[in-house]
Amino acid sequence: MPLMSEVHKTVGRGSKAVSFLSWALGVLACLWLAWCCAIGPLYWFGTGLSDFGWLNVLYMVVAFVAFFAILRSLVKFGRGRRVLPEYFRYRRERLRHEVAGTPTTVLGIMLRHLSDAMRSRPGRALHAVVIWVGRKLTRCTDSWWKLMLLFMVGWLWVPTTLLAAFGADIRSQIREFSWALNQWTGLKQPYIGFFSFVPMDIYPTAHYMWPDSPTYLTDQHNIVLTVFYGAVAAVSRFFTDSNDAGIVVLAVLQWLFAAFCCAATANRFFNLPWRRLGVGTFDFSHPERHDCWNMRDFAHPEAGVVPRPSRLRAGAKTRLAIILFFMVCPLAVFSTISLTKSPLFAFAFVWWFGVWYELHMTHIKAMPTINGKPVRLRKRSIAAFIIASSVMLISAKYAWYIIVFAFLLALCNDRKRWKTYLVTLLLPTVLIHGGIVALTNTGAIIGGDPIESRGIQLQQIARVAKYNPQGIPKDARKKLDKVFNLDQMAESYFQQDADPVKSSGIQSKKVSYKWRTVTAADMKDFNKAWLEIVKANPVIALDAFFAECFGYFNVTDLPYVSMDYYVNNDYVQEDNDWIHSYNHDWRDRVAGFAKGWGNIPVLGWVTHGNLYVTLTLLIGAAEVILRRWRSLSWHLPLLLLMGVMITSPANNFERHMLPVAFVFGFLCLQFWRESRNARLAASAAE
């Protein structure tokens, strides 16, 4: 007995420690969000942390209280407890009894009239219409092909009236492929020379990385996409003497891919097709475990089963809310035809996220079987997982980090299905990422410049050079002299974007990064020089860091570049052959409406990605506190995506938030389902 008592005490202390640490992480998440909200005004008006005052402290306290209240409500809801205080329940009961009798308050009289109106013939008819619409919506979204048809119809106006949306990236990709095609056909072109200017100099790749044998293809914008986009544009030029037709074809293909990805994932979350199709073995000794079958006769199990609607299938209101987001929100609408790598990655991630949900729901602890073996992933889902992973890998360089991280988590969480993860996650990563690395090492293509991943460091150096040039140590200045022109860095510095400091842009740009003359040996001392500068100017360095990333976690911050930019920028509206002539004014009106909606306080937040990033972070913190480790294991890639946002070259760049925004509705649905199970368990315990 004493031994058992000691064991219970040890377990109790361990549980309290885990609870304390999980709440500490939740508080840290709220503090980070509140901090980003508090410092926003400092950077909106061009100041910095040195001007942080009591007003910012008050702003931070109010924001923290709001975020912590949301987190606490999520935790209560997740545990099956009442979210609102008992007072509200008491008031609701009093109003209900008052309406049932003779109402004496203004609110009671209004509710009584509303109740009478609902019981009237028009009210009953309206209720019947709402029920009918809900049933029809559920029936129209009970399979992936119906959902895809719905997305295509809802988005049909986008490619037909806007044709395509794009920026500088696809033009650079087309230019790269054109130069490579000229080389393959025997046309001599300039390569390395001080006065030559080739595609690799626009988003500059240091010349020391170029192979001796001329090549004009780079992995700057992902080599597979560069070749595909460039080849389609080349075919378009062959038949129409213009790139425009090829660009429109690419936009339509991405539109179709977006509709398919959203439909496939919505089908998995709405309808749980693996249950309806009878994945796994039916356990006749525990029929209550399976909510997709009814036994014909419990006394005669040999009579078999009949299907019935799952109690876990999403209701009409949930389906409407998620579909409405994709149909109306500019983030999703404009992304369908925006030919830049982030939207393509985002839609592939949505598809990938849906397959993860199927894996989560068919885990051996979620769907027990007779023999205790895990449920095998459906063949179509295996194919979907492989293709989605591959598209992610060819569209974003950081995708392989996310996939490898997810693979390691899957091995810890679901070891019995390790072969599935090996084939669907690790194999595509090795083939695609490994193939690109091999092409780079053999000199067939030019790899991306490592300077691209050092945006935060560059911004910190440039801000110090601008605001405190005398504060740069002589040793650090000497180490950086062969890599950067510090005077040009100071002049090019823009706190929202690191591209000017990297000399990205057209030929007339300011040369702050000496990509033509820098060598690999010169770059070895870069980190040491950066560290010396940061130590000498810690406040300015922190200013540069926060100014480049605070907007991703500040719901009141307007995007630096929103998705409507790709609809009506100069590349679309002027610098092309005939796309600009098609519905020119209509594109301006559509983009202007989206911009105006986004500028409305509070109501415009739903059009901004940082709202969904903030709420996703709070849901993740709630899952940590609720110790939903299995759910958290396939949600952690969302946290990695937030890390990508922080290290990206621009602040509040909306396209980087697309993956998180697109899966937010599905994340909420899954959180609600798991919380529903907790509520049912709590009710049973009472």
Rounded CA gap, 472 and 534, in Å?
9
162: which residues sit within 8 A by CB, 6+ positions away? 337, 567, 583, 586, 587, 590
161: which residues sit within 8 A by CB, 6+ positions away? 583, 586, 590
Q: What is the DSSP string of 590-651?
A: HHHHHHHHHTSTTGGGGGSHHHHHHHHHHHHHHHHHHT-HHHHHHHHHHHHHHHHHHHSSBT
Rounded CA gap, 529 and 302, in Å?
77
Tell me what pLDDT residue 126 has: 75
Cα–Cα–Cα angle for 128, 131, 135, rounded to 5 degrees: 140
> Do residues 352 and 392 touch, judged by C-beta distance below 8 A?
yes
Which parts of the chain register pLDDT below 50? Answer: 1, 3-4, 7, 11, 277-282, 286-292, 307-310, 370
> Do residues 134 and 317 touch, judged by C-beta distance below 8 A?
yes
The residue whose two tokens read 């937010």 is 664
> Do residues 361 and 272 touch, judged by C-beta distance below 8 A?
yes
Tokens representing residue 215 in the block: 């090549």
C-alpha dihedral sign at 395, 400, 404, 405: negative
> Do residues 386 and 355 touch, judged by C-beta distance below 8 A?
no
Rounded (10°) CA dihedral 56, 58, 60, 62: -150
> Do residues 632 and 623 touch, judged by C-beta distance below 8 A?
yes
Amino acid in position 578: W
Tell me what pLDDT residue 280 has: 40
Give residue 60's region: left, alpha or beta (phi > 0; psi -120 to 50): alpha
Rounded CA gap, 264 and 85, in Å?
40
Cβ count near 167 (within 10 Å): 18
> Do residues 172 and 221 touch, judged by C-beta distance below 8 A?
yes
Q: Which helix (H) or strand (E) holds 146?
A: helix 144-154
505: which residues sit within 8 A by CB, 6+ positions away? 202, 499
Q: What is the DSSP string of 317-374?
A: HHHHHHHHHHHH-HHHHHHTTB-SHHHHHHHHHHHHHHHHHHHHHTSTTTS--SS-PP
Tell me what pLDDT residue 212 has: 87
Tokens representing residue 180 in the block: 């490579």
Q: For 278-329, where are the alpha helices, taking DSSP H only?
A: 316-328
Tell me what pLDDT residue 372 has: 61
> Do residues 612 and 664 touch, judged by C-beta distance below 8 A?
yes
Tell me what pLDDT residue 190 has: 85
Q: What is the DSSP letter of 76?
A: H
Tell me what pLDDT residue 308 has: 47
